[in-house]
A and B are shown apart, each in its own frame.
Chain A
Amino acid sequence: MLSLTFAAFYARMVRGNLLETLGEDYIRTARAKGLSERKVIGKHALRSSLTPVVTIFGLDFSLLLGGAILTETVFNLPGIGQLVVSAVNRNDIPVVLATTVVAALFVTTISLVVDIFYSYLDPRVRLS
């Protein structure tokens, strides 16, 4: 649900990156090889435009989780956010602890996944 608002933002970001990438010298090289415009944009330009998006996604994810607490409470939706709020209200320490651990695990796993994905996208990261 929440991710939808982010999606629009990402689309804009990819577009912005894409326009910037199109001015790069290696895009000119791709054109000079005789590649079709579809390949130039869909392969060469898009690849570079996606990398920063992945980084930002990792950061955004924890925000999304934090945001879940607010939205789920306000709109009375069932989910991890509401669970934690009601547990705090009930002074239910074990549930608070458990959800915190789960959330923390989630965030670290995601950032690990992002890092792995990032190094897949950008070979320069892989070796250093």
Chain B
Amino acid sequence: MAAERLLEVKDLKVHFNTPDGIVRAVDGVSFTLDRGETLGIVGESGSGKSVTCLTTLRLINLDTADVSGQVLFKGRDLLKVSKEELRHVRGKELSMIFQDPFACLHPYYRVGDQIMEAIHAHDGCGKNEAKKRVIELLGSVGIPRPDQRFADYPHQFSGGMRQRAMIAMALVHNPDVLIADEPTTALDVTVQAQILDLIERLKQDFNVGVILITHDLGVIADVAQKVMVMYAGRAIELASRDDMFAQPLHPYTWGLLESIPHVDQKGTRLIPIQGSPPSLIRVPPGCPFHPRCPHRFEPCDKDVPELVDRGGHPEACHLSIEDKRRLWSEREQLRKKVAS
């Protein structure tokens, strides 16, 4: 039985007009999300992960950006719907947890009131009932003594607690889709694990679709069913988690995998990717990754590789599938040899 398709992003492009030139922050990204599924988005800093997600809720300033493509949420294009219709989706059917928990709560209002406001944005229930629900929610996301904490201001909360408060706020209306933009990056490791646990539990309890942005491939291996790898505003590889870890196809993904400690292979050496990501104002011609790619050959600096579906595993690279298999297994061998 196929799960309900919640979100379908088609050829999304977001270009910012800045005094220095056009920033191609997102340049043709497509993906889908079904109910009960977690999509992980990975990529270096500045690859356009946050902008992709913010655009799905139309939270970027459209006056300074050119946006094209489609964001179909349960069939409606959120880039086209009226402001009023959009308002009814935001926070109710589609919620977002932002990257920086320190800046995302209003410093002048009580945490409880801010969450209560999220309830009242879509629900005319009474003040007492709303307050009761907020306290319940705060408790369920692991904030101790929620009835007392309700009246605190954000600066009285720790980073982990603010992130929990943000999660509580995102959940007030049991959304169908939850987008979590690096929900744990600003937090210490133990809190990280708890927050991820919490998101995982929500997914199972309420059967939501989750988009999880993270730098941590270990997290992806734990919770995601699908992975999208982004580079310079493009999706360069998209696969199920198992395919991505067993048979990654794009050299950039190889680089990412080799630069993290392997869960199952103790003692393998970490190899960082050479160079740094390109400027999004002057993206290199051809494949945006070619200046850093150890396997580049003639077409790479001329032709942009299209995203080609290789048996449910689309990726954008000029190498043939045979070469890829060979190169990846050579790299794996080499890594083991160097380690021993």
Residue numbers of A with Cβ under 8 A of B are 24-26, 28-37, 44, 47-48, 51, 121-124, 127
Contact = CB atoms under 8 A, between A and B. Distances in A.
Nearest to B60: A28
B214 interface: no
Contact of B107 (A26, A28, A30): A26
Contacts of B166: 29
A29 B89 contact: no
B295 interface: no
Contacts, number: 70
Interface string B151-191: 00101100000000010010000000000000000000000
A123 B89 contact: no
Interface of B: 54, 57, 59, 83, 87-92, 95-96, 98, 100, 103-110, 117-118, 121-122, 153, 155-156, 166, 169
A32 B108 contact: no
Contact of B104 (A28, A48, A51, A127): A28
Contact of A123 (B103, B104, B107): B107
B57 A32 contact: yes
Contacts of A29: 98, 104-106, 166, 169
B96 A32 contact: yes
- Most chain A beta carbons < 10 A, residue from B91, B95, B96, B122: B91
Nearest to B93: A34
Contact of A47 (B57, B90, B108, B169): B108
A113 B100 CA distance: 35
A44 B106 contact: yes
A25 B107 contact: no
User: What does DSSP make chain B's interface, helix, strand, loop or mixed?
Assistant: loop
Contacts of A48: 106-108
Nearest to A45: B106
6 contacts: A24-B103, A29-B106, A32-B95, A34-B87, A47-B106, A48-B108
B107 A124 contact: yes
A128 to B, nearest CB: 9
B106 A123 contact: no
Contact of B121 (A33, A51, A122, A127): A33
A36 B83 CA distance: 9
Contacts of B156: 127
A35 B104 CA distance: 15
Given A29-B166, A30-B106, 5 more contacts: A32-B59, A34-B90, A34-B91, A35-B121, A123-B108
B53 to A, nearest CB: 11
A34 B54 CA distance: 14
B117 A35 contact: yes
Nearest to B153: A123
Contacts of A124: 107, 153, 155
A36 B110 CA distance: 20
B98 A122 contact: no
Contacts of B155: 123-124
Contacts of A28: 54, 59, 98, 104
A42 B106 CA distance: 14
Contacts of B92: 34
Report the 8 A-B pairs with minimum CB-CB distance, sorted nearest first.
A34-B91, A25-B103, A34-B90, A33-B91, A123-B153, A34-B121, A33-B118, A26-B106
A121 B108 CA distance: 7
Nearest to A51: B108
B278 to A, nearest CB: 26
Nearest to A122: B108
A28 B166 CA distance: 13
A31 B104 contact: no
Nearest to B99: A25
Nearest to B89: A34
Contacts of B118: 33-34
Contacts of B110: 123
Nearest to A23: B61
B91 A37 contact: no
